[in-house]
Amino acid sequence: MKQTPETIVLVNFGCEDIQKFARSIRDRHIYTMVMPYTVPAERVMEEKPVGLILCADAGTPERPGAREKFEALKLPILDLTSGTGTGDVDAAVAFCCQCGCHGSWTMEKFIDEAVADIRRQVGSAKVVLGLSGGVDSSVVAALIHKAIGRQLTCVFVNHGLLRKNEPELVQEIFARNFDMNLCYIDASDRFLDKLKGVADPEQKRKIIGKEFIEVFAEAAAKVDAPFLGQGTIYPDILESIPLDGNPNGVIKSHHNVGGLPKNMKFKLVEPVERLFKDEVRQVGRLLGLPSELIDRHPFPGPSLGVRHVGPIERDTLHMLREADAIVTEELTRAGWYHKTWQTFAIFVPVKTVGIKNGQRSYDYVIAIRSINSVDAVTAQVVRLPWELLETMMERIVREVDGVNRVVYDITAKPPGTIEWE
C-alpha cells in the first residue's frame, strides 16, 4: 500500500460508526486509515502515522492488553474508547493538528502523488487494466494513462453478467473520450458455465474473481504485462477484511479483494485503493472525465451476478437484465436518475401465484432497490414516487416473461448491504 504523509490511524475497538467518523475527518483534508485492534504493531508503524485515535462504542468491553500494545508505540493517542467522543469531529481534528497535520490532503495533491507512485512502481513495464466502464475502473484508467500513456492496455471483459447493451456502450464511450489501448473480450459462456448451479454468494464472487484473473492473464501474456490495474476502493477493503480480527466479521468478499486467488502472478496497481467513492469521483472530475462516466450509478464488479439471488441460469439472468433496463429507463424518464445513488433490479428465486393475460401464472419475483449514499459506507432508502414505482412494476410484469410480481426493498445500510449478495 502507498504511504501517505500525515496519516492518522483510527484503531477500531468496536465502533459501529468508525468508517463514518474516518470520513468526517477526511472531509477536513486529514488522511485517516481504519485498522482493527488486533492489527500487529509493526503493521501500524508501516504507515508511519503521526497519531492514533482509539475508538469504541459505549459499553464495549476493553480488550485485555490491546491498549498497552498501542501505548508502547510512543505515538500521540486520543482515547475515545469510552464511547463518548466519536461524534466530536472537532476534537478529533484538533488532536490531528496537534500531531502535525496541516489539512493538506487534497485530491489535487493525491493525483500528483498517485501519478508519481505509478511511475515509480511500474517503470517501463506494461500494465493491463480490468475495465468495467464504471466510475472506479474508469478513474483508474485515466490515472494510469496519465502516468504511463501507451504502456497501459485496458481489457474490457464481457462475462455475461453485464447490463443490457453495456458492451456496446462502454466501448463507444471510451473510443470517444480516450486515446488508449482497449481490448474487448467476450467470455460470457466461460463465466456462466463456471457459475452454473452455484448459489452461495461468497463462492460466486470468488469464481468471478478467479476467472477474471485468468482472462486477464491471457490478455496480459499477449502484451507482456506483469502488472494488473484494478479499481479497488477503500470500502471494498474494509468490507472484505474483518475489522475485529474475526473471519466471521467479513461483510462480503469483493471479487477484487477477498475473491482474488492466492497464487496470482500479477503485481497489483491500485491507485485509488485508499479512497472512498465520492473521493474517486472528485479525482475523475479533476482528470476531466465526462459526466456520462463520473455520474453513472455505481455498478459492482461481479455485475448482475450479485443481483441475481441463487444459482444463475441464462433464462432468469435474461429476466433480470430486461427488468433492470426498464427500471433505469423509467428512472431516467422521470428525472430521478441523478437524484439517487443507485437504483436497480434484483432477481428473487421465488415463484408466486399471479394473473397474466387473464390466466393463472406461477412466476418469479423482481425486487427494486433505490438508495442514496455519500461513500457507500452507509445508505438510506429513497422514497421514489409511487407513480414511478407503479410504472416500473407495470412494464416489468407486462414485458418480462417469467415475472409476475414486483416488490420494493426499504432496507437501509446497515442492517442491509447495498447489493443483495
Joined together, the cell numbers standing for residue 192 give: 456462466
Residue 24 labelled as part of a binding site: no
Residue 354 labelled as part of a binding site: no
Alpha-carbon dihedral angle through residues 12, 18, 23, 29, given to the nearest 10 degrees = -40
Question: Which of 371, 351, 363 is CA-nearest to residue 399?
Answer: 363
Other beta carbons within 10 angstroms of residue 192's beta carbon come to 17
Residue 133 labelled as part of a binding site: yes
* Burial (Cβ within 10 Å: 0-12, 13-18, ≥19) of residue 91: middle
Residue 85 labelled as part of a binding site: no
Length of the chain: 421
Alpha-helical runs (H) found in 224-273: 234-240
Coil/strand/helix, residue 265: coil
Residue 137 labelled as part of a binding site: yes
Residues with Cβ within 8 Å of residue 167, at least 6 apart in sequence: 156, 158, 184, 186
How far is the C-alpha of 301 from the C-alpha of 324, rounded, in Å?
16
* Burial (Cβ within 10 Å: 0-12, 13-18, ≥19) of residue 188: middle
Residue 34 labelled as part of a binding site: no
Identify whether the C-beta of residue 93 lies closer than 8 Å to the C-beta of residue 25: yes
How far is the C-alpha of 122 from the C-alpha of 268, rounded, in Å?
10
Residue found under cell 438510506? 380
Identify whether the C-beta of residue 382 lies closer than 8 Å to the C-beta of residue 364: no
CA-angle at 395, arms to 390 and 398, nearest 5°? 120
One-character DSSP codes across 266-288: SEEE-TTTT--HHHHHHHHHHTT
Which secondary-structure segment (H or E) carries 222?
helix 201-223
Residue 373 labelled as part of a binding site: no
Question: Which of 154, 298, 160, 162 is CA-nearest to residue 228?
Answer: 154
Identify whether the C-beta of residue 335 lies closer than 8 Å to the C-beta of residue 314: no
Which residues are annotated as part of the binding site for ATP?
A: 132-138
Which residues are annotated as part of the binding site?
A: 132-138
